[in-house]
Structure 1
Amino acid sequence: MKNLSRLLFAMLFVLVYSNANAQDKNNPWQITIATNAVDAYPSGDGAPFSETIFSKYVDVDNYNILPSLSSVSVSKYIGDGFSFGIAGSLNKIENWGEDANGDALSVDDLSYYAADGTIKYNIGEVLDWKTFEPYLGVGGGYTWIDEVGAGTLNGTLGFNLWFNENIGLTVQSAYKHAFEDYLNTHFQHTVGISIKFGGADADGDGIYDKDDACPDVPGLEAFNGCPDTDGDGIEDSKDSCPNEAGLAELNGCPDTDGDGIADKDDACPTVAGLKALSGCPDADGDGVRDGDDKCPNTPGAAANNGCPWPDTDGDGVLDKDDKCPQVVGTVANNGCPEVTEEVQKTLNEYAKTILFDTGRSTIKTQSEGVLKDIISILNEYSTATFTVEGHTDSVGRESTNQKLSESRANSVKDYLVANGISTSRLSAVGHGEAKPIDSNKTRKGRANNRRVEINLIK
């Protein structure tokens, strides 16, 4: 008996030690260390369900109790509330049934050995009871009294009372019906401590698969078994930079220059900069990042590579807006000089001296000098537009005079265009004898009326 107790204790020690680090609330394995009591009453009339079967169920005078480690069972959860287990137990029998007077029958220190297998149904799981788990069981086994043994059919009723996720109290009562007459039908009661252990851990991270959100990848308990590869306290699934330690506010990405822009989005990751410039600096604040700014310390324009626009002619109009950047002009005239009344007067004094062949639109060669002077003035005011106007005296038919004035105006215009003045800046019109500036009754007056004018279009 003593040797068998030692053997059972050794089996228990090995099982508990090898699984002590693997216990978990979801673990399917359960081991129970118990003390058992064997009650051979009632033997009755041999009927398995006689009237006397529970009449002395709690009469401890008939119990054979071995107050030490005397039963060990191991069971595994199968699923849907069912588990299967095997148990080994021993006892010392001093009372075996009753005599005709109802007194316990004493025997001479018989040895009791039993090996049983049981399928249990956990009622507590079905009812979702976490702490108190009643169960029912059915199974069979073999029981020896000294060296005589017989098979048994067992019915089991019991409960587990869990103190925490792994350790609890188990109380069980089994009715064991013997198939042979030489072995009495009897009860075996057990009370013991149970330990749950042995869950699956596919990735070996110490977190069992049932609780592991990442069962195939080693991880951390803080993240339900999911990894944090870079160790920055942000699990990989939520980490935009899982291989580089970073900041929580940047979803786990680093910010080397501390400008609040993650390195992966920072065009200048080693120099603090602005979000609007993708993390690059702008020393002069002109909106052009320093790397692209040819004048990084002077505010300028993006279109001018970060440099200020020049004003070459110094007229207060920047070259980018100055239609005459090399000539001093006015702001009102987009940087170009304006044609004054004095210039207009001078222009027309020259124009009036242009001579034509009599009755024709051909310009006389002696007028080339004055035409050059006119061209010089027009070039000075390169953005101004003008109308060349032809006039005649009243001699002759009005229709003829009209055509002649138009023809002479166009001749002057053509000359100017042929000598470099853009055609877009000139137009020509003839007024005939309609706009005299002097009397047509005198030779001098008629000479004054025969003229060409070049007037500014405003």
Structure 2
Amino acid sequence: MKNLSRLLFAMLLVLGYSNVNAQDKNNPWQITIGVNAVDFFPVGEDAPQGDTFAEFFNVGDHWNILPSVSSISVSKYLSDGISFGVAGSLNKISKFGDAAVGDLSYYGLDGTIKYNFLEETTFDPYLGIGGGYTWVDDIGAGTLNGTLGFNLWFSENIGLTVQSSYKYAFEDYLSTHFQHTAGISIKFGGTDTDGDGIYDKDDACPDVAGLVAFNGCPDTDGDGIEDSKDDCPNEAGLAEFNGCPDTDGDGVADKNDKCPTVAGLKALAGCPDADGDGVTDADDACPTVAGPAANKGCPWPDADGDGVLDKDDQCPDVKGTVANNGCPEVTEAVKKALNAYAKTILFDTGKATIKTQSAGVLNDIINILQEYSNAKFTVEGHTDSVGSEANNQKLSEARAASVKDYLVANGIDSSRLSSVGYGESKPIDKNTTSAGRANNRRVEINLVK
């Protein structure tokens, strides 16, 4: 019972060491459970012991093996291939070299620093050095241990460990010996900096708590899209919008929606357009009646009712025709009336000055021109054939210009009028009679088309 208590104490120390430190480092732990064999023969001592390494593998004659689980070790990887482990073991000694002895109890508690030559490989050999304390029956002594062994990993976490340790005893009453161990090893543990249950070595976001589904990366808003791929990581949204919400369900993500709480159109950045005129309701002065954006969404007015919108109507206050841009057209009757008035304009003989008695007829002409405010006219001067042709040309030009100047001075826009003289070149009657010459001496006002 006393010896069993020693072994249990040793195992508790091992497991206690594991539990205290397991969460403090960033590399896996390794626990090995197996069997051990103790051999007192090949250590370079006198009989019944033998020469160093003599009959090293003479299992039947020299090895003491307890046919049950008889060893347990826990080791912790430190860095650069170096690890530290603690092992506990028990055995029954019936063979002391070539001599048979009664069944003696054997207990060992050892600590070892190991160096692994090949990291992250299937075959993983190592060397170790350490020390411990070994009891044979009730006699115990400290030992200095040298270890050679290997791990053979079947998977990332499970493997076979085989090792042989030379245990040099510091006291004469405990003999130096070899202890061989074979067992199943399990690697486990590691650091979880962010506390999300995923070890840092497997955690894509080791400093931020996350989810297993995203390799340890977070999904702050819980919408099933990890933050690194979520355009709106703090607001639950839809996959089709890269994690952003669409509150009004109009197919435009809130972050791009100028009217996020009211369903609208994609073409209008998520804002509604009740009358379908392409102007958002918020900017539409007439939201229920379609109208152009240039008029704030309202229909253009047509004040004079001539079918030409005011914006295109050159005479918005006077009813006209579509063909004449909303202005009234100059009819043939009006043209005849203009020329009938114009022919009665009188000038001083041989001069371009207008006689005062022509003021009435000129006012009639002005009234007609003002009625057709967008029409353009040319004032034409004509003479009879009396006198030289050159003088007649100059006189016709001067008289036409005189009439134009009078009309402009009395309210007609100068851009609507031009003047030209034709001299005696366009007679409308014979120049051989006084009546004919009187007809040829005339002013005409004609529409410019």
Identity percentage of aligned residues: 66
Decide which of 197, 202, 219 is 1:211's aligned counterpart: 202
The residue correspondences of 1:27-426 to structure 2 (distance < 5 A) are 27-43=27-43, 53=53, 55=55, 57=57, 59-67=59-67, 70-98=70-98, 104-107=99-102, 109-121=104-116, 123=118, 125=119, 128-129=121-122, 133-144=123-134, 145=136, 146-147=138-139, 149=141, 151-162=143-154, 165-176=156-167, 183-426=174-417
CA distance, structure 1, for counterparts of residue 69 and residue 216 of structure 2? 38
CA offset at residue 184 of structure 1? 4.2
CA distance, structure 1, for counterparts of residue 55 and residue 288 of structure 2? 105
CA distance, structure 1, for counterparts of residue 132 and residue 17 of structure 2? 23
Supply the AA of the counterpart residue of 1:154.
Answer: G
CA offset at residue 170 of structure 1? 3.2
CA distance, structure 2, for counterparts of residue 57 and residue 183 of structure 1? 22
CA offset at residue 155 of structure 1? 3.1
Query: Does the 8 A contact of 1:96 with 1:107 survive in 2?
Result: no
Instruction: Look up the SS of the partner of 2:8 in the other structure.
Output: helix
Query: Does the 8 A contact of 1:23 with 1:166 survive in 2?
Result: no
Supply the AA of the counterpart residue of 1:109.
Answer: L
CA distance, structure 2, for counterparts of residue 453 and residue 396 of structure 1? 21
Q: Which moved more, 1:149-158 or 1:38-47?
A: 38-47
CA deviation digits over 1:265-297, x for unaligned, max 9? 111111111111010011221111111112222
CA distance, structure 2, for counterparts of residue 249 and residue 90 of structure 1? 64
Query: Does the 8 A contact of 2:264 with 2:271 survive in 1?
Result: yes
CA distance, structure 2, for counterparts of residue 446 and residue 90 of structure 1? 154
Q: What is the alpha-carbon root mean square deviation over aligned residues?
A: 2.9
The 1:43/1:240 distance shift into structure 2, 3 A limit, reads closer
CA offset at residue 386 of structure 1? 0.9
CA offset at residue 258 of structure 1? 0.5
CA offset at residue 93 of structure 1? 2.3
The 1:449/1:108 distance shift into structure 2, 3 A limit, reads closer
CA offset at residue 11 of structure 1? 3.6
Supply the AA of the counterpart residue of 2:10.
Answer: L
Instruction: Look up the SS of the partner of 1:399 in the other structure.
Output: helix
Instruction: Look up the SS of the partner of 1:76 in the other structure.
Output: strand
Instruction: Look up the SS of the partner of 1:149 in the other structure.
Output: strand
Query: Does the 8 A contact of 1:393 with 1:449 survive in 2?
Result: yes
The 1:315/1:358 distance shift into structure 2, 3 A limit, reads same
5+ residue gaps, structure 2: none
Q: Which moved more, 1:54-63 or 1:364-373?
A: 54-63
CA distance, structure 2, for counterparts of residue 139 and residue 112 of structure 1? 19
Supply the AA of the counterpart residue of 2:127.
Answer: G
CA deviation digits over 1:290-314, x for unaligned, max 9? 1111222222111111122222222
Partner of 1:101 in structure 2?
none
The 1:293/1:394 distance shift into structure 2, 3 A limit, reads same
Instruction: Look up the SS of the partner of 2:337 in the other structure.
Output: helix
CA distance, structure 2, for counterparts of residue 58 and residue 444 of structure 1? 162
CA offset at residue 254 of structure 1? 0.6
CA distance, structure 2, for counterparts of residue 46 and residue 156 of structure 1? 25
The 1:450/1:324 distance shift into structure 2, 3 A limit, reads same
CA offset at residue 405 of structure 1? 1.1
Instruction: Look up the SS of the partner of 1:203 in the other structure.
Output: coil
Whether 1:451 aligns to 2:442 is yes
Query: Does the 8 A contact of 1:19 with 1:198 survive in 2?
Result: no
Instruction: Look up the SS of the partner of 2:407 in the other structure.
Output: helix
CA distance, structure 2, for counterparts of residue 250 and residue 414 of structure 1? 73
Q: Which moved more, 1:293-302 or 1:195-204?
A: 195-204
Partner of 1:7 in structure 2?
9
The 1:257/1:114 distance shift into structure 2, 3 A limit, reads closer
CA distance, structure 1, for counterparts of residue 423 and residue 341 of structure 2? 20
CA distance, structure 2, for counterparts of residue 362 and residue 379 of structure 1? 24
**Number of aligned residue pairs:** 443
The 1:221/1:192 distance shift into structure 2, 3 A limit, reads same
CA offset at residue 80 of structure 1? 4.4
CA distance, structure 1, for counterparts of residue 203 and residue 29 of structure 2? 18
Supply the AA of the counterpart residue of 1:118.
Answer: I
CA deviation digits over 1:373-431, x for unaligned, max 9? 11111112111111101111122222222211111111110111111111111111111
- TM-score (norm. length: structure 1): 0.87
- TM-score (norm. length: structure 2): 0.89
Query: Does the 8 A contact of 2:236 with 2:244 survive in 1?
Result: yes
Q: Which moved more, 1:393-402 or 1:173-182?
A: 173-182
